[in-house]
Amino acid sequence: MAQFLQVFSRSISASSSAMAQIKHVTVIGSGLMGSGIAQVAAATGHNVALVDQTDDILGKSMANMNKSLQRVAKKKFADDPKGGETFISEIISRIKTETDPTVPAANTDLVIEAIVENLDVKQKLFKSLDEAAPQHTIFASNTSSLPIGDIAASTKRLDRFGGLHYFNPVPMMKLVEVIRTPDTNDETFKSLVDFGKAMGKVTVECKDTPGFIVNRLLVPYMLEAVRLVERGDASPRDIDTAMKLGAGYPMGPFELADYVGLDTTKFIIDGWYEKFPENPLFQPSPLLNKLVSEGNLGMKTGKGFYSHKK
């Protein structure tokens, strides 16, 4: 009987610790996505550690978050600029920056990874985090295209690993896809859904299938657009106009590719081509490859399919 009670109380405490509300979040990668995720997590009351490779990169991310928050505050505090300043400074004060991911990971409830779209680099990061983070910490990746199970395989916490796939720009886009692998346990999955909702997002659930829901549909559409241009059938400008005015999309496929980043876009296509080489859909795009090889990565560099003011 004593043994049964011990096991019973251990399982209660394990499950209640896994179910504990997520308060401290570590976001790794402070680029387009990581900075947006950190900003919204802090704006919804979470304590956030934001990690990147250098203090210089982190400084630029903090400045970008400030700009985004100014846009939010301008609307929210239209008649109260002082209130707007307090709003911004309170959110910013909940974000600490760090260059060593293992430091905040040692004391965090959730790690959200938003680094470069490369399986080896993500696996290497999570392997080191697995050694540093406590038992209860949940790991999540914001990958656009890599299998969550492949990233999780670098750790010993397959049951506490899932996907949280946000959309760009995170402060404006209302969706987060919550991904469970066959190993993700129910407590972890529920914590991830609850966290998505606590960030003010609408959550949808998806299995660990290539592209999840949105990118499974979006990537073929965008690739068809680039093939139209490569065949000389229509210009990027006309395709964008057509999809905005004819299909009601807020951005056309080329504007969106520049917004997402052509480097990230290429990582996604190259990864799927390597995995599904026989699929005609994922054949490399000479036009995209040319732009990336010239360092024209879209809005982040000031030039991609279009020129952008920096």
Residues designated catalytic: 144, 165, 177, 215
**Helix, strand and coil percent figures for the chain, each rounded to 5:** 55, 15, 35
Go through 6-43 and write b for each residue having 16 or more CB atoms within 10 A of its CB, e for each that does not: eeeeeeeeeeeebeeebeebbbbbbbbbbbbbbbbbbb
Residue 261 interacts with, from ligand NAI, ligand LJ3UWUTL, none (CB under 5-8 Å by kind): ligand NAI
Binding to ligand NAI by residue 116, rule CB under 6 A?
Answer: yes
Q: Confirm if 98 and 49 have CB atoms less than 8 A apart.
A: yes
Closest to ligand LJ3UWUTL by CB, 248 vs 250, is 250
Which of positions 157-216 make contact with ligand LJ3UWUTL (CB under 6 A)? Answer: 167-169, 171-173, 214-215
Q: DSSP string of 137-198?
A: -EEEE--SSS-HHHHHTTSS-GGGEEEEEE-SSTTT--EEEEEE-TT--HHHHHHHHHHHHH
Residues 243-302 binding ligand NAI (CB under 6 A) are 260-261, 264
Closest separation in Å from C-beta 86 to ligand NAI: 29
Least distance to ligand LJ3UWUTL, CB of residue 52, Å: 18
Q: Does 68 bind ligand NAI (CB under 6 A)?
A: no
Residue 144 touches ligand LJ3UWUTL, criterion: CB under 6 A: yes
List interacting residues with ligand NAI (CB under 6 A). Answer: 28-34, 51-53, 57, 114-117, 121, 125, 142-144, 166, 168, 260-261, 264
